[in-house]
Amino acid sequence: MTTHDKILIVDFGSQVTQLIARRVREEGVYSEIVPFTKAEEAFAAMRPKGVILSGGPASVLEPGAPLAPAFLYDAGVPILGICYGEQAMAKQLGGEVEAGHAGEFGGAEVEVSADSALFDGVWMPGEKYPVWMSHGDRVTKVPEGFKVVATSPNAPVAVIADEGRRFYGTQFHLEVMHTPHGALLLRNFVRKVAGCVGDWSMKAFRDEAIQKVRAQVGSARVICGLSGGVDSAVAAVLLHEAIGDQLTCVFVDHGLLRRGEAKRVITLFRGSYNIPLVHVNAREEFLRQLDGVVDPEQKRKIIGKAFIDIFEAEAKKLGGAEFLAQGTLYPDVIESVSATGGPSVTIKSHHNVGGLPERMNMTLVEPLRELFKDEVRALGRELGLPDVFVGRHPFPGPGLAIRCPGEITAEKLEILRYADEIYIEEIRRAGLYDDIWQAFAVLLPVKTVGVMGDGRTYDYVVALRAVTSTDGMTADFYHFDMKFLARAATRIINEVKGVNRVVYDVTSKPPGTIEWE
């Protein structure tokens, strides 16, 4: 990424920090998120044209509260502080932050009191605009050189600006959709204030990623683990374009896939791309290892280890391979490290984000490590992958194992596959597939008494989930009409032996989590 303008995002632990990076990248500007503890080394490596300080759950008034490295304020680049980031900047530069006021979480209205480069062409003095607040503390005195350029009833210092040093702070969150003009304000900061050109594109990424893979791999052999999902498929096609027959893809059929999934993957790669592919049928082995396992985290770890064992065995059969490629994405990387620089809550324990076991004597190749999910889809289209494949809903590495809570059996998996197939089929028939971020069925670990015809039944309950999202970070349940739900439920109950009840899951997805499970 040496040829493009960059923005460094210093993370203080906000649940929506990733949205800042997404908004910046939407402007064609490359951005990276780093914990505040690693900001100094990241700044030296990236040489960014601007810095954004994220929000966070802490209070700057607490002893040992996270702060930005002091050198940033003397680095000569523009800085934008968002929520906690504004408070940290204000405190560090001589302003005052106070607690004890009523917290503000949700919609609010700010009134612009003065012109600012941050508002150029978007907000006008004297006008009021809706924003999204999420704070307890608030700035009460601005540092020397700053002025207040927008206020709100509960946050009189809603936006501050030091136009000379190009430092700005907002008490509200610009990055969320609930601040309607937030993306445009961020654009002003990135493009006009920081002067970023906006030349980062999927075509540029493709060309640079190919060169990076060639430089890393040289003439060595690479094994790529195919899961059947979009990420590993795009990674495989990119790798093949970079190193050709040095690549061998290993598709492990672990028996936890959707109906027909194995056939679709094999057809695509052997028929359309002529990529060397090894198909490993390991259904019995995975089911054996998962026998009696109930805890979902343990399931993930068992599956991840089993994958590694198979890849290691296949590498030996090929005469050795020095590299293992996988479709790690940027959210996987971010979620593997907390804002304090230590291990975060494990989101994807079936991924090897931190590296491979030493006994493998292999190095990871992760060509998609810098991309978000929708960027991977764009790269897939750039590489010529068919849209019917690129546009598929996300499907987790552990597959149906974590959509079958409780003990896993071959019988339960077959019931789930059939119910899931009917559900997705009905979504496609209704023309709703592309309106939904992800949809899937879950076989609940309970049975209920029912009546079908003249007899009683004692069978499983299937839950249906569908969520919408624009950024892959937050979501709401999809609002099906009752006719659709009735049609899908009736088909599942009538056609899937072992199911006598269907429910619809209306749980929304909160900010800060990544995988739709």
Q: What are the residue numbers of the active site?
A: 83, 173, 175
Cα angle at 242 between 239 and 243, to 5 degrees?
85
What is the maximum alpha-carbon separation in the chain?
81
Measured CA to CA, the distance from residue 357 to residue 361 in angstroms comes to 8
Pairing of strands 128-135, 104-112: antiparallel
**What would the two tokens of residue 185 be?**
């304000």
Helix axes 373-382, 230-243, angle to 10 degrees: 40
Residue 187: strand, helix, or coil:
helix
Residue 408: strand, helix, or coil:
coil
Amino acid occupying residue 345: V
Please report, in angstroms and rounded to a whole number, the separation of the first and last CA atoms in the chain.
Answer: 32
* Residue 282 phi, psi (nearest 5): -120, 30
CB distance 128 to 107 below 8 Å = no
CA distances from 386 to 240, 274, 501, 509 (A): 16, 15, 36, 29
Q: Which of 65, 27, 7, 86 is nearest to 340 (CA)?
A: 65
Cα angle at 421 between 417 and 422, to 5 degrees?
125
Residue that the structure tokens 């809550």 belong to: 345
Phi-psi region at 492: left, alpha or beta (left = phi > 0; alpha = psi -120 to 50):
alpha
Q: Which of 462, 465, 459, 466 is nearest to 492 (CA)?
A: 462
Pairing of strands 222-226, 167-170: unpaired
DSSP assigned state of 222:
E
CB distance 171 to 178 below 8 Å = no
Number of H helices, E strands in the chain: 14, 20
Measured CA to CA, the distance from residue 67 to residue 11 in angstroms comes to 10
Distant-in-sequence, close-in-space partners of 25: CB < 8 Å, separation ≥ 6: 31, 200, 372, 375
**What would the two tokens of residue 338 be?**
């907390």
